[in-house]
Amino acid sequence: MSPLQEGLLKLQRRTLLLVLIALLLAGCERQTPAPTATPTLPGPTRPAPPTERPVITSLTPRPTVAPAPESPTPPPTPVDAGTLVLWHSWSGADADALAQILAGYRERRPRVQVQTLFVSYDDLPSAYPAAVEAGGGPDLFLAPMWWLQDMVEAQVLLPLEGLLTPEDLAGYHLAALDSLVVSGRLYGLPTNYELVSLYVNQALIAAEDLPRTTEEMIELAQADPTQGAGLYTNFYHLYWGIPAYGGALFDEQGRVILDQTPGTAQFLDWLRRAAQTQGIFASLDYGMLIDRFKKGEYAFFVDGPWSRAELQQALGSDLGMALLPAGPVGPARPWLAADGVFLNPNRDREQQQLALDLAR
């Protein structure tokens, strides 16, 4: 993991940054603030802004959690028989997806028995390290990336270098893999990842009129308030605009420079102007924002895949998705938040190879 990303994971546990962001956004806020959570994590590059219009992607139902792609090549030392124990906190649609993954694995490895144990989300981050430190625990467990730093510091995860080939990793999104790296060592394989994008009500705007830039987003609302947007003003939902304006949260040494980069102030100034534009609503009242979008009061809403089913139920075939608008320096770069599958370092090498076979 780069110093920037390591610093970001550590900063999650510091309330100081959350207070700073709340203060920075206070001038943009129209509603009474409510506490919010802050996931991770940005990519570092800044290509030039797009010159062509973005396109709308029509949405169709799909499972909430997608399984990680299988490796195209077998492991170096195949193990095809034994018993594995998997701990997880997946429920609902996620649990259904996990059951499908395991059913497919049983077809591929009929002599491997996989025993699963559900542990509540609140209990799992303490139960797993305690079990491993006592010499036990499962062979594998599923967890979000923001538990990773604490798990690595507790030495309860198996580093995966030397156990995977480049071909094994070829099917994974590079940013998702990188989110599971600490100090240059890969500790898990991504199971799924999320980021925010631009939901579009296609009944309110034509595809050729989609905003390419943040300034065009304001201009659209000025010309027609129904072509405005809902902007949820927590840091995770807004980070996409900071690198688009040339701002940064950390430098290469992991030091906080959010308040030292002119791009951050420039993006916040854009956010202030946007919030003062009729048809654009910048607020920490998430319920208000999503309800207005569902009622067709504005054409755009910045959010992630967790709201997709609710929005599609309300808007049907009118719901689409497009790229977030670019800034003057480069494209929008939303944070990517990944979940992963991790291995127990207490197991012998043969059992670890069997666990890795399931993880892939």
Print burial letters for 282-293: b (CB count within 10 Å at least 16), e (below 16). bbbbbeebbebb
The CATH classification of domain 82-194+338-359, taken from the options 3.40.190.10, 3.20.20.80, 3.90.420.10, 3.40.50.300: 3.40.190.10
Instruction: Evaluate if residue 194 carries a pLDDT over 80.
Output: yes
The share of the chain scoring above pLDDT 70, in percent, equals 78
Q: Concatenated DSSP letters for 274-315? A: HHTSTTEEEES-HHHHHHHHHTTS-SEEEE-GGGHHHHHHHH
Q: Are 108 and 309 in contact (CB under 8 A)?
A: no
The residue-averaged pLDDT of 31-38 equals 34
User: Which residues, other chains included, contact 26 with Cβ-Cβ below 8 Å and sequence gap of 6+?
Assistant: 33
pLDDT at residue 74, rounded to an integer: 45
The share of the chain scoring above pLDDT 90, in percent, equals 64
Q: Are 16 and 256 in contact (CB under 8 A)?
A: no
pLDDT at residue 55, rounded to an integer: 53
pLDDT at residue 124, rounded to an integer: 95
- Mean pLDDT of the residues in the chain: 83
CATH number of 3-61+195-335: 3.40.190.10
pLDDT band at 63 (very low <50, low <70, confident <90, very high): very low
The residue-averaged pLDDT of 133-149 equals 94
CA-nearest of 220, 230, 237, 210 to 301 is 230
Q: Give the CA distances from residue 114 to residues 84, 98, 117, 204, 209, in Å, rounded to whole numbers and listed in that order.
A: 5, 12, 10, 49, 51
pLDDT at residue 23, rounded to an integer: 39
Q: How far is residue 197's CA from residue 324's CA, in Å, rounded to a whole number?
A: 6
Q: How far is residue 180's CA from residue 1's CA, in Å, rounded to a whole number?
A: 8
Q: Are 119 and 127 in contact (CB under 8 A)?
A: yes
pLDDT at residue 33, rounded to an integer: 33
Pairing of strands 140-144, 82-88: parallel
Q: How far is residue 353's CA from residue 75's CA, in Å, rounded to a whole number?
A: 8
Sheet containing 140-144: give its strands across.
Answer: 112-118, 82-88, 140-144, 337-343, 188-194
pLDDT band at 10 (very low <50, low <70, confident <90, very high): very low
Q: Are 320 and 203 in contact (CB under 8 A)?
A: no
Q: Where are the domains of the chain?
A: 3-61+195-335, 82-194+338-359
Cis peptide before 41 (omega within 30 of 0): yes
Q: Residues 73-107: pLDDT tens digits?
A: 444 455 678 999 999 999 998 999 999 999 999 99
